[in-house]
Amino acid sequence: MLEISELHKRFAGGPDAPGGKVALDGISFVVRPGEMFGFVGANGAGKTTTMRIIMGVLQADSGSVSWQGRELGRDTRRHFGYMPEERGLYQKMRVAEQIEYFGRLHGLGAAAAKKATEDLMERLGVAERRNDAVQALSLGNQQRVQLAVALVHDPEVLVLDEPFSGLDPIAVDALATALQERCRGGVPVIFSSHQLELVERLCDSVGIVSAGRMVATGTVADLRAAEGNTLRVVVRDPAPGWAEGLPGTVSVNGDRHILRTTDGDDQEILRRAVKAGHVEHFGVEQPTLTEIFKEAVA
Amino acid sequence: MNGLMLVARREIMTQIRTRAFVIGLLISAVLVAALSYAPKVFDTPDVYTLGTVNSQQLPLQAAAPEAKFEWRSLPDEAAAKQAVLAGDVDAVLVNGTKVLTDGEIEPELGVLMQTVNREVRLGAIGTSIPPLQIESVNPDARYESARTGIAVVLVLVLFMMLLGQAVMVAMGVVEEKGSRIVEILLSTLRPWQLLGGKILGLGVLGLINLVTILAVGLGAATASGIASDFPPGIPGVVAGVLVWFVLGYAFFATLSAALASLVSRQEEVNTVMTPLTMLIMVTYFVAFYATNDATGTLATVMSYVPPFSSMVMPVRMAATEVPLWQVGASMAAMVVAVLAVLAFGAKVYERAVLRTGARLKLVEVLRAK
């Protein structure tokens, strides 16, 4: 289990912020083996800072990160796979050599690195580009190579900062499949994204950060339950003042009145609606992650 | 394999295959070879075409064995004037008493003709003057011009190699920082392994370059025959240059990496490197000055002061005989300087290389904990 607890980080102040800027204000969450954890939040909320601290490229002012009960050190992190924001690859290096090189840096022997590279290139569909320089590849293919670099040493934990940004839907699917495979193999995967539908579709659990704090965390189902379902009623041409005394809000669209509410007696509402006019729709709607997110960071 | 060696190996393998490296190596080899042949090409003997009208040819050849003389006999003074003006002859001796030229006569030819004419006339009346014996009291003098020439070439080669490799290091550091590869690298490597591997790898490439240049230079010098003018002890001088390159490179490359780690974009490399480029240039100028005055006070003093010693001492070693203890003392001082720079550079690099974004100030980096 990857456990992040009480991370605090303040960046030194510049001329624009003399007191410094608080980037993390007590971030805590856990990711279990085989769990895909979606990290969402507005720009500057602290996602990248958290990931960089997990990967040890940034030091927290306080707090800790532990993997399987042990505080992380360089030796443990060697077994992590990492994709930084605004990815980095050697543009002029060949695809296969690059993946192999990172495999060796992560401690694989020459033969093992070669084999892992071959397997990955095959699976990610970049095998025929093995001898091309990275800069000759399309963005989607570069991203696949980047993922291969993160995966080559068969990492125990995956930390990916915005892995899906800038990809077309097909590349997104390829990447998602690769991540799900690893996840099924028992690897905890953390990734950040602004594509909330994608996070909703892929992730077992979600953490929403805002201004350096974790404002909501849990499975998507838990978050939905906490948010509460919304009852939506559409009544056509109702008698005026039909909703008086009912909970929620009414919006008017032409001759249709739409009532939205998260509480109240649904049967009572239905009776009132039927009496007032022609009921076109009566249903309970689950909040989308986007709605939960907007609510959480508001 | 240890991380540092892996990094060094990558630097070598990626660079050595680039067209820029291969072409650069070829160009410098050709340049150095050309330089070795240059003295042969430019030292062609002087050739004079001379005419006579009603005169004996002067025995100029005996007086100036290196020059070549061609004689033509002309019918009269009018024809002689025409030949001079047409540029067919350099000068015409008329009636054994006057010389026709187009404008002023070439000074060497003038002096030669006057002297030989005088000698011939004096000889005719039975007077012969023994020529002055010339004796050099400086035993080294025979090699002086060769030594200076070697020193000039070596210091130029050293300068270009040191500057070139320092820039390569800087660009490599910024490539990794700007693209954030450094974040992946530093999640598995220590900063000193990454920095050390890069400096080591590019240093090996520099050495390959330098050894090639020196080998081609010596080979071409032997082939062209100018090596016969070389003073003894050239192998020692060449070995010295290699050692000084390693020391100078370690010094400049480390500073270069430290400065480069302050910026995140290739366009900013030039600006941030300016102080270092200036330092390398100044070192070169001092060393170049020293080729002219290798025994002077400036050369002697600067050959002990790091980093100037990395170029000035090889100049002194090539241009004069330098006692071994002096070389040793100078190297010891340079080694101390290199160690200090390594400690300083590694600290700056470690603190700055992960702080992507706007250009950092050196003071700011040093002050931050």
Say what the ipTM of the complex is.
Answer: 0.80
Whether residue B121 is predicted with pLDDT greater than 90 in this model: the reply is: no
Query: Is residue A124 domain-shared with residue A179, that is, in the same domain?
Result: yes
Query: Is residue A64 domain-shared with residue A190, that is, in the same domain?
Result: yes
Cα angle A22-A47-A32, degrees, rounded to a multiple of 5: 125
The mean pLDDT value for A103-107 works out to 92
Residue A5 vs residues A2, A95, A135, A156, A293: alpha-carbon distances, Å: 10, 37, 39, 19, 22
Lowest mean pLDDT among A197-201, B164-168, B355-359: B355-359
Whether residue A101 is predicted with pLDDT greater than 90 in this model: the reply is: yes
Distance, CA of A119 to chain centre: 27
A88/B contact by beta carbon, under 8 A: yes
Please identify which residue in the block is written with the tokens 């020293």: B290
Distance CA B324, CA B328 (A): 6
In this predicted model, what pLDDT tens digit does every residue of A155-178 receive, in sequence order? 999 999 998 888 888 888 888 998
Give the domains, in start order, of chain B with CATH numbers.
Answer: 3-39+142-367 (no CATH), 47-124 (3.40.190)
CB-nearest partner of A84 from B7, B13, B183: B183
When the pLDDT of each residue in chain B is averaged and rounded to a whole number, the result is: 86
When the pLDDT of each residue in chain A is averaged and rounded to a whole number, the result is: 87
Contact B354, A58 (CB under 8 A): yes
Q: What is the pTM of this model?
A: 0.78
CB-nearest partner of B354 from A57, A91, A107: A57
Q: CA-nearest residue of chain B to A75?
A: B188
Query: Is residue A27 domain-shared with residue A141, that is, in the same domain?
Result: yes
Identify the pLDDT of residue B208: 92
Query: Is residue A121 domain-shared with residue A58, that is, in the same domain?
Result: yes
**Total residues found in chain B within this entry:** 369
Whether residue A19 is predicted with pLDDT greater than 70 in this model: the reply is: no
Q: CA-nearest residue of chain B to A54?
A: B187
Whether residue B141 is predicted with pLDDT greater than 70 in this model: the reply is: no
A78 to chain B nearest CA, in Å? 5
Q: Is A26 exposed, middle or buried (0-12, 13-18, 19+ CB in 10 A)?
A: middle
In this predicted model, what pLDDT tens digit does every residue of A177-229 receive, in sequence order? 989 999 999 999 999 998 888 898 899 899 999 888 888 888 888 888 777 77
Task: Name the more confident of B40 and A220.
Answer: A220
Residues of A within 8 A of B179 (CB-CB) are 86-91
Query: Is residue A85 domain-shared with residue A12, that is, in the same domain?
Result: yes
Contact B244, B313 (CB under 8 A): yes
Identify the pLDDT of residue A223: 82
Q: Do B188 and A77 touch (CB under 8 A)?
A: yes
Instruction: Quote the percentage of chain A above a pLDDT of 90.
Output: 37
Query: Is residue A203 domain-shared with residue A290, that is, in the same domain?
Result: no
Task: Name the more confident of A43 and B274.
Answer: B274
Query: Is residue A120 domain-shared with residue A242, that is, in the same domain?
Result: no
Final residue in a domain of this structure, among A177, A204, A225 = A225
CB-nearest partner of B183 from A55, A78, A91: A55
Q: Do A80 and B3 touch (CB under 8 A)?
A: no
Whether residue B19 is predicted with pLDDT greater than 90 in this model: the reply is: no
Lowest mean pLDDT among A19-23, A55-59, B319-323: A19-23
The mean pLDDT value for B107-112 works out to 86
A92/B contact by beta carbon, under 8 A: yes
Identify the pLDDT of residue B282: 94
Query: Is residue A95 domain-shared with residue A202, that is, in the same domain?
Result: yes
Query: Is residue A93 domain-shared with residue A174, that is, in the same domain?
Result: yes
Final residue in a domain of this structure, among A180, A208, A225 = A225
Identify the domain containing residue A276 by its residue range.
228-297
What CATH number should be reported for the domain holding residue A118?
3.40.50.300
The mean pLDDT value for B157-182 works out to 91
The mean pLDDT value for A136-154 works out to 90
Q: Do B179 and A92 touch (CB under 8 A)?
A: no
Residues of B within 8 A of A12 (CB-CB) are 368
Identify the pLDDT of residue A13: 64
Query: Is residue A18 domain-shared with residue A145, that is, in the same domain?
Result: yes
The count of structural domains within chain A is 2
Please identify which residue in the block is written with the tokens 């030039």: B270
Final residue in a domain of this structure, among A225, A250, A272 = A225
Query: Is residue A261 domain-shared with residue A165, that is, in the same domain?
Result: no
A67/B contact by beta carbon, under 8 A: no
Confidence at B162, pLDDT banded by 50, 70, 90: very high
A75 to chain B nearest CA, in Å? 8
Query: Is residue A56 domain-shared with residue A104, that is, in the same domain?
Result: yes
B262 to chain A nearest CA, in Å? 16
